[in-house]
Structure 1
Amino acid sequence: MFSLLFVALVALTGRVLALSFSCSEFTSKIDAQATNVAHITLNFTGSGTVRVAGSWDIAFRFCQPLLTKLDTSSTLQVLGSGATYTKEYWHLSYKPEDYDYQRHAAVAGYSTLAFDLLGAGASAKPDPFCVVQIPMNVAIATEIVKRVRGGTLTKALPAFSKIVYVGHSMGSVILNGIMVGSPSLIDAAVLTGYAHPSTDMPVHVPTVADGDIQIAATTFPRRFGSLDPGYTVIENRALFYGPNGTFDPKVFELDVATQDLVSVGDADTLNVGERLAADFTGPILSVEGDLDAGNCTPNCSNIPEEAAFYPRAASFDYVIIPNTGHVLNLHLTAPKTFAIILEWIKSQGF
C-alpha cells in the first residue's frame, strides 16, 4: 500500500516530498587484485597483461530508509556511478526532492550504498595508467559486495541477504564485469546509460589527442593540480545531455562545477567489462534515455537486443525514457526514472 501511495504521489506531483532520512559517510580499506592491461600511456596504447594487487581507501555513503518495511529490509541497493562522476550523482544537493535517488529509495523503504570508484571522488587515487583500470574497479566492486553480504564492510552497516546493483554508464560496465566474473554474487541488476558496442554503434575510446578528454591537472589546477596527468576530465558536459528544455540549467551548471575524474586506464579498458554474462541468472532492467547517442541507436532499437548478452537471466526488461540524454539522474525526467527503477525492483520481490 505504501509503495502504491509513493508511486501515486510521484505521478501526481512529479517529485518526492523533502522528507528526512538518515545517511552516513565513511571510508573503508578494500583489498583487491586484478589482471590489468600493461603499458597503457597517454596515447591510449596498451599490450599484454600485468597482475596488480593492493589495498585502497574507498569512500561510501550509506542511506537508511525512511520507514522500515519487512519486504524491503533485507535488500540493499549498491549504486555505482559513471566516469567523471562520484557518489554525488545519486545524492544531488540541488532540489533533492527531484534529483536525489537515495532519498527516493529511502522513501520507498530501501537502504542504499553509493561509493566512489577507485581514482574518483574521495577514494584513493593510485597510478592512473597501470592500477586504475576497469578490471581493478570490477575487483574492488566485487569485494565490496562480498563484504556487504558478510556484514564486514563497516560496523555501522548490517549484513544484507539481497543485493540489487544499480549502475550508471561506466558503473554499468563494472556491474557487467561482476555479472561475468561472479554471476551469483548479486541478485538483480539495473543497467542505466549503458549498452554493448555494436556494428551500428561501435565503441569509441576518448583520447587526449582528439580533444575528447583533458588532463585534469592543467584544466582545473586548483582542484587537481597535484594529480598525475593520467587523471583526466571531460569539459564538454553537453555530451551527456539532451537539448535545452530537457534539463534544468542550474543542474548543468552544478555538473560543470563539480565534475570529477576518469583515469586513462579506465577509459582504455572499457571493453574489458563488456563481455557476455553467460551465467548470470537474476532479473535485469535496462534503462536508457532516448537521446543518449552514445548508447542508443536511432529509436534505441539496440536495447532489446541486449538480452542476448544475458542468456540465462531470469528476465530482461527495458525502459526507454523520452526526452532524456545520457545522465538520466540529471534530466527533468529524473523522478519518473527513479519511480520506474524502484517499482521494478519491488516487482521482482526485492
Structure 2
Amino acid sequence: MASFAFLTLSLLSGQALAKVCTNVTIPVNINAHQPQFNLAPLQVNQDATRFALNFTNIGRNFTNEIFAGNFADVRGVYNISAKYCTPDVQKANPTVQFLTHGIGFDKSYWDLPFNNYNYSYIDVATAAGFSTVSIDRFGIGNSSKADPLNVVQAPAEVSAMYEITNMLRNGTFPTVAHKFQKVVHVGHSFGSAQTNMLVTLHPQASDGIVLTGWSINGTWLGQTLADWNLHLARLNQPLRFGNVSLAAKRGQNGQNKYKGQNGQNGHRNEDGSVNGYVSNSDLIQTIENALGLLGVEASASDIWQEIATTEVGDIINGWNETLAPPQNLPTGYLTWSDLTANIFAFLYPGFFEDAISLFAEKTKQPVTLGEILTLAGPIAPNKFAGPVQVVTGRQDQIYCGGDCLATGTQLPSIPAAAQVLFPNASAFQAYIHPNTGHGLNFHYNATGAYHVIQQWFQSHNLGSS
C-alpha cells in the first residue's frame, strides 16, 4: 500500500513542470521576551575557543553563569528575506509550506543552486502542488542583522516566524494576494527546534509540522561545538563576513578585471555567487612554484588538500564568492573552521558529492552567540493537535551521535522519543532516512526524503486542492 501511495505521489508530482518564484523582503514586527547575557566582546579566534570550552565544560552551566538575571523585550520592525514559490499551475486552495533552515545555512538550503537544482526540496514540494515560503532567519543571510548576543536569539526568530505565518493566513504577505487556509511548517535542525517552539507557544499557528535533522536528545551538541573549532566569522571568511575591501577585485564601472581559468570574466550566478576569479589549477601552480623556490616538493593533490580542506580554502571562497560589499559582522557571529569540520557535523562520507561539500563550505552562514545560548528551546509537552513527522538521517551526528537506530532501549529510534512532546497530535511518525547525515539536503538520496514528507502531508489532508 505504501509503495502504491508513493508511486501515485510521484506520478502526480510529475504533472507540475516548473516552479514560479519571487524573492521578497518582508518588514516584520518582532516582539520577543529574551534572556540577557553578560559576556565580554570576542576579539580573536582564541576567544571563540574559550567560549566553546566554557560552554561545553561538564562541570559548569555556562549559560547560567553569564545570565544577567533579567529578561528584556526585543521589539521593532526588521526585514526578513524570503522566497515565495508556487507550481506553474496553482490549485484553487493551495497549501503553503513554511520552510526554516538550520545553523550554517540560509534559505537556499531548500532550493540548492547546485548541479542544476537536482537537490531542490522546493522543486519536489511545488511538483506535489504545494506553495512554499523559505526565509533567511532573523539575523542570517539577507535578513536584518542585529546584536548577536542579546537580540538575535531563538525567541526573536520564532516571533518573526509567527508574524509571517499570520501574514500568509490573513492575506498580507507581500506580493501574494491569497489567504492560505492551510499553512504547514517544515524545519531543519535549529529551524526544527524553532518550529517546535512555534507550536509550543502558538498551537494554532500550524496545521502540520515536519521536523528534519532533529531529535530531543542533546547529548552530542557539545561534541558538535568541539568539532566546529569555532572562529569569528569575520576572520574565517573576511571577504564575505568581515570588512576587507573588494576594490582590488573591481575594474572600471565595477566590472571584474580578473580572468578565470579559461580567460572569461567573472559573472554573477543565480544564487549571487561569482565565478572566474581564482581557478584551482592556477592556485596549485602558483603554490607549486613558490614551494619550488624554497626547494620543497609537494604533489598537486597535497596542495589541493591544503587549499580546500583548511582555513586557506575559506579565504579563497570569500574571494571567489561575492561582489557584494562585505557584511562587516560583529564578532559575536561565529562559524566552524573549515571543510573537514563541516563534513564531520553535516555529511555522511561516501554518500555525498565532493563538489557539494565544497559548495556548502563556501556558502556557509554564521551562527550567533545568542542562538547558541538559546539553542535548546522548550522541551516539554505542548498542545499542538496537528500531525507531526520527524525526518532524520540515520547517520545524523548532531542529534543521534552517528546512528539514530542505536537507542539501547525499546524505542525504534532516537528521534521517536520526541513523541512525548506531542500528546495531542493527530498523528506522529519518526522516519529515519538511510545513508544520510545531519545536512539531509546535501546527500545523494535527499529527494527520497522529500517525497516522504510530501506524502505525509497529503495523507493527512494537508495537500493543495
* 3-state secondary structure, aligned to 1:295: helix
- Contact between 1:66 and 1:109, CA under 8 Å: does it hold in 2? no
Change in CA separation of 1:310 and 1:103 when aligned onto 2, cut-off 3 Å: same
Task: Give the alignment of 1:58-207 within 5 angstroms.
Answer: 58-70=80-92, 73-197=93-217, 201=219, 203-204=221-222
- Contact between 2:228 and 2:335, CA under 8 Å: does it hold in 1? no
Deviation at 1:174, TM superposition (A): 0.6
Runs of 4+ in 1 over 6 A off after TM superposition: none
Aligned with 1:326 (options 438, 448, 464): 438
Query: Partners in 1 of 2:416 and 2:357 — Cα distance?
Result: 30
1:23 alignment counterpart: 21
1:283 alignment counterpart: 387
1:306 alignment counterpart: 418
- Contact between 1:18 and 1:97, CA under 8 Å: does it hold in 2? no
Deviations 1:244-284, CA, capped at 9 Å, x for gaps:
3210111111101100121110111112x232242111100
Task: Give the alignment of 1:232-271 within 5 angstroms.
Answer: 232-235=334-337, 236-271=341-376
Aligned with 1:219 (options 236, 259, 272): 236
Q: What TM-score comes out, normalization by structure 1 length?
A: 0.90
Query: Partners in 1 of 2:238 and 2:177 — Cα distance?
Result: 37
Work out the percentage of aligned pairs sharing the same amino acid.
32
Deviation at 1:349, TM superposition (A): 0.5
Query: Partners in 2 of 1:95 and 1:312 — Cα distance?
Result: 41
Change in CA separation of 1:270 and 1:205 when aligned onto 2, cut-off 3 Å: farther
Deviation at 1:302, TM superposition (A): 1.9
Deviation at 1:106, TM superposition (A): 1.1
Is residue 316 from structure 1 mapped to residue 316 from structure 2 by the alignment? no
Query: Partners in 1 of 2:6 and 2:419 — Cα distance?
Result: 28
Aligned AA (1:34) = A
Higher mean C-alpha displacement, 310-319 vs 150-159: 150-159
Q: What TM-score comes out, normalization by structure 2 length?
A: 0.68
Query: Partners in 2 of 1:161 and 1:145 — Cα distance?
Result: 11
- Contact between 1:65 and 1:110, CA under 8 Å: does it hold in 2? yes
May I ask how many residue pairs the two structures share in their alignment? Answer: 339
Deviations 1:4-50, CA, capped at 9 Å, x for gaps:
4552599xxxxx79943210001011001111111253536431322
Aligned with 1:229 (options 319, 331, 341): 331
Deviation at 1:84, TM superposition (A): 1.5
Aligned with 1:7 (options 10, 34, 40): 10
* 3-state secondary structure, aligned to 2:432: strand
Higher mean C-alpha displacement, 298-307 vs 185-194: 298-307
1:57 alignment counterpart: 79
Deviation at 1:55, TM superposition (A): 1.1
- Contact between 1:32 and 1:53, CA under 8 Å: does it hold in 2? yes
Deviations 1:145-173, CA, capped at 9 Å, x for gaps:
11111111213352211011000000001
Deviation at 1:222, TM superposition (A): 0.5
* 3-state secondary structure, aligned to 1:164: strand
**RMSD of aligned residue pairs (Cα, Å):** 2.4
- Contact between 2:211 and 2:390, CA under 8 Å: does it hold in 1? yes
Is residue 345 from structure 1 mapped to residue 457 from structure 2 by the alignment? yes
* 3-state secondary structure, aligned to 2:397: coil
Query: Partners in 1 of 2:346 and 2:238 — Cα distance?
Result: 26
Aligned AA (2:197) = G
Change in CA separation of 1:278 and 1:154 when aligned onto 2, cut-off 3 Å: same
Deviation at 1:96, TM superposition (A): 4.4
Change in CA separation of 1:205 and 1:3 when aligned onto 2, cut-off 3 Å: closer
Point out where structure 2 has 5 or more consecutive residues left out of the alignment: 43-50, 56-62, 243-327, 407-412
